[in-house]
Structure 1
Amino acid sequence: MKLSDTAIQRPVLTTMFIAAFLIFGIVGYQRIGIDLYPEVEFPVVTVTTILRGASPEVVESEVTDVLEEEISTIEGVDEIRSQSFEGLSNVIVTFVLEKDIDVAAQEVREKVAVATARLPRDIEPPVVQKLDISASPIMWIAVSGDRPYRELSYYADK
C-alpha cells in the first residue's frame, strides 16, 4: 500500500499524525534559541601598552619586541602581529582554534607580567584583553556638512 492510500483509508490516523507534527513544531519553535548576534569567541588576545612621548622605533625596540619575545613561548600560538605607533604598542596574539580563550588570556597575562620587568619604567601597565566581537560597532556612519557639529550629531542619531 502506498502512503496516500493509507492516509485516505484511515483519516483519523492521518489527522493524529498531522496534529502531532503541528504540536511538535509549535513547541520546538517556542524553545529554539535565537540570538541576533550569537556569542562567538575567537581565540585572539590583544596586549596594548602605552609609553608616552616615545617614537614608533623606540616603542618597537623597547616594548613590542620584548612582549613578542615573551609571548611567543606560549603553547598554541598560531600568529603574533604587532603595530608600534607613537607612544603605543599593540600586540595581537592569535591562538589555534582548539585553545580555550580564557586559558590563553591568562597565559598571556602571566607572560606580560614576566616581561614587565624588562620594559621601560615609565610605561603604563599593559592591558591584556580578549577579542570581543559583540563590542565592535555594527555600522559606521560618516556625516559631513555645513551645519554645526551638534546638529550633524542629531541627524546621525536619528
Structure 2
Amino acid sequence: MGLTRFVLKRPVATVMALLCLLVFGISSVFSATLEQMPDTDQPMLIVSASYSGAGPEDVDELVTQPIEDKVSTLEGVKSMSSSSSEGRSMVMLEYDYGTDMDEAYSDLTQSLDGLDRQLPDDVETSVMEMNNNAGSTMMLSISNPAKEDLYDYVDQTVVPLLEQISSVTDVEAMGGSSEYYRIELQSDEMAQYGLTMSDITSAMSSANLSYPSGDAVSGNLEFSVSTSLENDTIEALMQVPITTAGGKLVYL
C-alpha cells in the first residue's frame, strides 16, 4: 500500500524514475563490450624450442619427446599437448586451476635448465604464458569434392606457404584424411626368417633418412636444408632391406 500511495501522490517523480531506469538500461546494453575470447587467467605455459634446419620427424624425436619426458612430472600439470614442425617444437602445459603460476613458471624454467645436455647443441628453448588476447587466430575452410587427396595437398602445399609468413606463429591442418599404405605381414614367413614385428618396424624406420644439413641463403631469403630419403611409394617399400636372424638380407 505504501508504494501505491507514493505513486499516486507523486506521478511525475514516478514517471521520471521509470524513464531514468529505461534510459540507463538501454545505454548500458549498447555500451557493454562483447568479446569472443574474454581476458581470462588461464593456467597454461608453453615451451617453445627452435632447431634450425631440422625436419618435423627429427624435431619430434630429438626435441619434443625429451621435453615432454622432462616436464610431464612437474607438480600441478593437468594435461600436456605438443606439435612438431619444420625447425620448431611447441609443448603446451595446462595446470590445475588455483596453481601459483609464478611458482610453476620457475619450476618449469629450472627443469629446462637441466635438459640442455640432452638436446642438440643448437636448440634454443623459451617459456611463454598463455594469453588469449595476445594474438589472433584465423580459420580457413578449403573444400573440393572432386579432389580425393585434398588433405595431403593442404598439408604439404598450403600449410608450408602460410608458415612462411613472418607474423604467423603456428599453422595446423585439421579434418580430411591422408593417403596411406597398409602392410600385411605373413606369419609363416616371419617365423621362417626368425623375424618379429619390431624387427620389420625398425627396418622400415631405418630406411627413412632425414637430418638437418644447415641453411642456404639466397638474396634476402634464408632456407633450411635437410637431407632426406623417404619410401613413400609401393615400389620403394618393396625394396626396404630387412636383415634376418641368420644374417640373410630379404626385402619387404
TM-score, length-scaled by structure 2: 0.43
Is contact 2:55–2:85 with CA below 8 Å preserved after alignment? Answer: yes
Aligned length: 137
CA 1:139–1:88: 2 relative to 1, 3 Å: closer
CA distance in 2, matches of 1:3, 1:120: 79
Which moves more between the two structures, 37-46 or 125-134? Answer: 37-46
Gaps of 5+ in 2: 141-252
Letter in 2 for 1:128: V
Letter in 1 for 2:128: Q
Cα deviation code 1:107-153 (max 9, x no counterpart): 22121112122111121x2011001222335899xxxxxxxxxxxxx
Q: Identical aligned pairs, as a percentage?
A: 29
Is contact 1:48–1:90 with CA below 8 Å preserved after alignment? Answer: yes
Structure (1 or 2) with the larger CA radius of gyration: 2
**Residue number in structure 2 paired with 1:3:** 3
Letter in 1 for 2:131: D
Cα deviation code 1:75-95 (max 9, x no counterpart): 111111111122211111111
Which moves more between the two structures, 76-85 or 109-118? Answer: 109-118
**Residue number in structure 2 paired with 1:155:** none
Q: What SS is found at the alignment partner of 1:52?
A: coil
TM-score, length-scaled by structure 1: 0.64
Gaps of 5+ in 1: 141-158
CA 1:93–1:34: 2 relative to 1, 3 Å: same
Cα deviation code 1:39-81 (max 9, x no counterpart): 3221111111111222322221221111111111111111111
Letter in 2 for 1:113: D
Where relative contact order (Cα < 8 A, 6+ residues apart) is larger, the structure is 1
User: Where do 4+ consecutive residues of structure 1 move more than 4 Å?
Assistant: 33-38, 137-140
- Of Structure 1 and Structure 2, the greater helix share is in 1
Q: What SS is found at the alignment partner of 2:116?
A: helix
CA 1:103–1:138: 2 relative to 1, 3 Å: farther
- Alignment RMSD, CA only? 3.5
**Residue number in structure 1 paired with 2:78:** 78
Q: What SS is found at the alignment partner of 1:98?
A: coil
Is contact 1:43–1:97 with CA below 8 Å preserved after alignment? Answer: yes
- Of Structure 1 and Structure 2, the greater strand share is in 2
CA distance in 1, matches of 2:139, 2:58: 35
